[in-house]
Chains A and B, each alone.
Chain A
Amino acid sequence: MVTPGMATAVESRLEHVRLTQEGKPVTFLEAIREAIWEEMERDPAVFLLGEDIGVYGGAFKVTEGMLERFGELRVIDTPISEIGFTGAAAGAAHMGMRPVVEMQFIDFISCAYDMITNYIATSRYRGAGGLPLVIRGPSGGGVRGGPFHSQNPEAAFFHTPGLKIAYPSNAYDAKGLLKAAIRDPDPVLFFEHKWLYRRPQLREVLPAEDYTVPLGEARVHREGDDLTIVTYAAMVHKCQEAAEVLEREDGIEAEILDLRTLLPLDEEAIIRSVKKTNRVLVVHEDTRTGGVAGEIAMRINENAFEWLDAPVLRVTAADTPIPYSPPLEDEFLPQAEDVIKAARYLAGY
């Protein structure tokens, strides 16, 4: 039953998608919400699928208010079935829709591994047509989420031809990359580090006009001449913390390259920075063996071996499942001190 005041209640709940329009700063999460909202307003083919994204607005409230605005044919609360709704997204994309799938926690993306790697990633190549869809969700540790609410799943998909992967570190990039992902003709996995979601330090005023950040272009987060730190997502901020200490205590100027997208990998930007600093540290929050750092080191080896003054090193999480208890998780995750130690070793090599 419609009660008086309901329309006003819905209206007032929509304030959170108008922050940029009003010139107010947004958090990382709000930037993502604005990107989805604006793309849904721009293109009627864009629609959402996921668990608890409608009535509840999503576990992290990314899609809050969208059901009321766009209706239940465009904001679909699904059964707990990652294969089911990821497959359904593929089917809808075959028909010309632009589905945006939410994994409630990105850890659950592995439930849909077959659908993503066997079906979606191969579709264009096997002549069944490209699949313009986005699979997004909260990833990453440091929030005491334990083994199944903290993962960084990129390496499993980094190896799969046919996928693109974005993993932003700030609100501007998150909004621009997500818009680019939704408009992209190929399937994009979009990882949102949940430690960044509501960090007050990441609030920023975004451009009022529509913009995208192209997939496949890295960004120099910090200029420096002494060594290059290649990293992405939340680690950009830990590396920044480390770089400030290195500058203050050691006089080492670290350049930080924020990859922003892992696929396509901006090899040119990596090689450019390597040729400038001749020393490279690769940092990721994902575990070590088979991680993205290995591939980056190999690309540097193939393309800029003679420019190196030191071996390429990496700082990553340990090769364990993600533990829950603070002393264990802190031990598991790469910390600023690890980056500082590795950078000092590299600088003195």
Chain B
Amino acid sequence: MANRTEAPPQTVPHGLDLRQLREIYRLLRLTRSLEERLVTLHRQSKVVGGVFRSLGQEGESVASAYALRRRTDGTGDMLSPLIRNLGSMLVMGAEPAEVLRQYMAKGDSPTGGKELNIHFADYQRGFIGQISPLGDLVPVMAGVTLTFRQRGEDRVGMVYVGDGATSTGAFHEGINFAAVQRCPLVVIVENNFYAYSTPVSKQTAAESFVDKAAGYGVAGDQVDGNDVLAVYGVAKKAVERARAGEGASLIEMLTYRRRGHAEHDNQSYVPEGEIDRWANTNDPLDRYVATLLQNEWMSEDEMSEADASVDAELDAAVAASDASELPEAAVTYDGVFAAGRVPSLWTRAGSPQPSGW
């Protein structure tokens, strides 16, 4: 237990500087506030699908991705975010307006209205959205990082799975492949207590997920996922290991999902008091704010200023996204293959009689 009357440490841990600490603060705030906007838009029926919150686990999303080399020209590290890694996406340079348009199914969203939420990719900024069958991106990211090795590039990949996805065949086959091929891949297992309604005790008989690392012959680490700086430190170590050619690793983040699987989920399966306890005593943003203030790394005024700038950015992004149009129906037939369009039904094509496809 740190003695709160001690003088602030002279240096920030893990080689971070004050500018970076403040950037992390802003990204955490941006993540939480953007999700709050999405909830509002969902209630207004402007978000046409589900909203997936990362409330209570934004810290590990932002801090883990922050350990990566971020570029915008396709030469940086690659990250594959899970549905609750909005924070990681924002770290890599995803724009709030892109995320809003995705959720709102707009024609100018990154996927043109064909995919939902943060399931989108940008190889320049370095992220590949996941798909709903969980665990699939572990083998895919093993392949991405295999190519870094094939080309002799010193790039690293990071992929997230939840406690639930560790039960899939894809997770097992992917991490095993990465281990055998010594791929520069960091696999992050977010243990947030629940996979939809299923508790960890029904997901695995293992005592902890980090124990699986030994079975695959990869480095393993477990960290308090709500301690932003500790997460950064552990992630940075794994990223450096990977970059140095020492292969894959598995990091278990201990955190807690304070909202349901999606906004419709009433969390009836959660024991009474559990959510409040985490909210009141172990919120990653509250803890980070306390650390910043206590060490005088950021003042309350600076935080208010950052909050105001986040709000202004989101006001503009929501307004711009709201003004965007839904896609033209004709776009449905594009993009299945590199060339050509899939034929539409003759009953839609304006022909009075069957004309084949």
Which of B132, B342, B356 neighbours the largest number of chain A CB atoms within 10 Å of its CB?
A: B356
**In the complex, how many angstroms separate the beta carbon of A84 from the nearest chain B beta carbon?**
3
Give the residue name and chain of the B residue nearest to A132 (CB). B338
B139 near A47: Cβ-Cβ < 8 Å: no
B275 at the interface (CB under 8 A from A): no
Contact partner, B336, options A99, A125, A128, Cβ 8 Å: A125
A129 near B121: Cβ-Cβ < 8 Å: yes
B336 near A97: Cβ-Cβ < 8 Å: no
Residues of A within 8 A of B106 (CB): none
Residues of A within 8 A of B270 (CB): none
Contact partner, A127, options B114, B149, B170, B173, Cβ 8 Å: B114
B356 near A87: Cβ-Cβ < 8 Å: no
Give the residue name and chain of the A residue nearest to B139 (CB). A87
**In the complex, how many angstroms separate the beta carbon of B140 from the nearest chain A beta carbon?**
4
A124 at the interface (CB under 8 A from B): yes
Give the residue name and chain of the A residue nearest to B180 (CB). A79
Given A76-B181, A302-B354, are A130 and B142 also a contact pair (CB < 8 Å)? no
Residues of A within 8 A of B176 (CB): 79, 81, 84
Tell me, in angstroms, the Cα distance from A89 to B133 when the chains sit together: 17
Tell me, in angstroms, the Cα distance from A98 to B144 when the chains sit together: 12
Tell me, in angstroms, the Cα distance from A79 to B148 when the chains sit together: 20
Give the residue name and chain of the A residue nearest to B116 (CB). A126
A255 at the interface (CB under 8 A from B): no
B337 near A88: Cβ-Cβ < 8 Å: no
Which stretch (A57-65, A114-122, A231-239, A310-318) binds chain B? Answer: A114-122
B335 at the interface (CB under 8 A from A): yes
Q: How many residues of B contact A (CB 8 A)?
A: 47
Within residues 276 to 310 of chain A, which ones have a CB less than 8 A from any CB in chain B? 299, 302-303
A81 near B115: Cβ-Cβ < 8 Å: no
Residues of B within 8 A of A93 (CB): 143
Contact partner, A83, options B115, B148, B173, B354, Cβ 8 Å: B173
B123 at the interface (CB under 8 A from A): yes
Tell me, in angstroms, the Cα distance from A129 to B177 when the chains sit together: 23
Q: How many residues of A contact B (CB 8 A)?
A: 45
Interface string of B270-300 (1 = CB under 8 A from A): 0000000000000000000000000000000
Which of B120, B142, B177 neighbours the largest number of chain A CB atoms within 10 Å of its CB?
A: B177
**In the complex, how many angstroms separate the beta carbon of B174 from the nearest chain A beta carbon?**
6
Give the residue name and chain of the B residue nearest to A162 (CB). B336
Give the residue name and chain of the B residue nearest to A77 (CB). B180
Residues of B within 8 A of A126 (CB): 111, 114-115, 119-120, 129, 131
B146 at the interface (CB under 8 A from A): yes
Residues of A within 8 A of B180 (CB): 78-79
A86 at the interface (CB under 8 A from B): yes
A251 at the interface (CB under 8 A from B): no
Residues of B within 8 A of A161 (CB): 336, 342
A326 at the interface (CB under 8 A from B): no
Residues of B within 8 A of A200 (CB): none
A192 at the interface (CB under 8 A from B): no
Give the residue name and chain of the B residue nearest to A74 (CB). B150
A73 at the interface (CB under 8 A from B): yes
Within residues 238 to 269 of chain A, which ones have a CB less than 8 A from any CB in chain B? 267
Residues of A within 8 A of B129 (CB): 126, 128
Within residues 77 to 116 of chain B, which ones have a CB less than 8 A from any CB in chain A? 110-112, 114-115
Given A97-B150, A124-B337, A302-B354, are A91 and B142 also a contact pair (CB < 8 Å)? yes
A92 near B146: Cβ-Cβ < 8 Å: yes
B144 near A95: Cβ-Cβ < 8 Å: yes
Give the residue name and chain of the B residue nearest to A87 (CB). B139
Tell me, in angstroms, the Cα distance from A195 to B336 when the chains sit together: 33
B128 at the interface (CB under 8 A from A): yes
Residues of B within 8 A of A299 (CB): 356-357
**In the complex, how many angstroms separate the beta carbon of B355 from the nearest chain A beta carbon?**
9
Tell me, in angstroms, the Cα distance from A95 to B339 when the chains sit together: 20
Tell me, in angstroms, the Cα distance from A115 to B174 when the chains sit together: 12
Give the residue name and chain of the B residue nearest to A76 (CB). B181
Within residues 136 to 187 of chain A, which ones have a CB less than 8 A from any CB in chain B? 161-162, 164, 185-186
A275 at the interface (CB under 8 A from B): no
A95 near B147: Cβ-Cβ < 8 Å: yes
A191 at the interface (CB under 8 A from B): no
A94 at the interface (CB under 8 A from B): yes
Residues of B within 8 A of A78 (CB): 177, 180
A115 near B136: Cβ-Cβ < 8 Å: yes
Q: A73-B150, A83-B136 are in contact. List 20 more A-B contacts (CB 8 A).
A: A76-B146, A81-B176, A82-B173, A84-B170, A85-B177, A87-B136, A87-B170, A91-B140, A91-B141, A93-B143, A94-B123, A118-B132, A118-B133, A119-B131, A125-B336, A126-B111, A126-B119, A127-B110, A128-B120, A128-B128
A-side residues, CB < 8 A to B, are 47, 73-74, 76, 78-79, 81-97, 99, 114-115, 118-119, 122, 124-130, 161-162, 164, 185-186, 267, 299, 302-303
- Could you show 15 A-B contacts with beta carbons less than 8 Å apart? A79-B177, A83-B139, A83-B170, A83-B173, A83-B174, A84-B174, A87-B174, A88-B140, A91-B140, A92-B150, A114-B170, A125-B335, A161-B336, A161-B342, A302-B357
* A-B pairs with lowest CB-CB distance, top 6: A91-B143, A87-B139, A84-B173, A88-B143, A127-B111, A81-B173
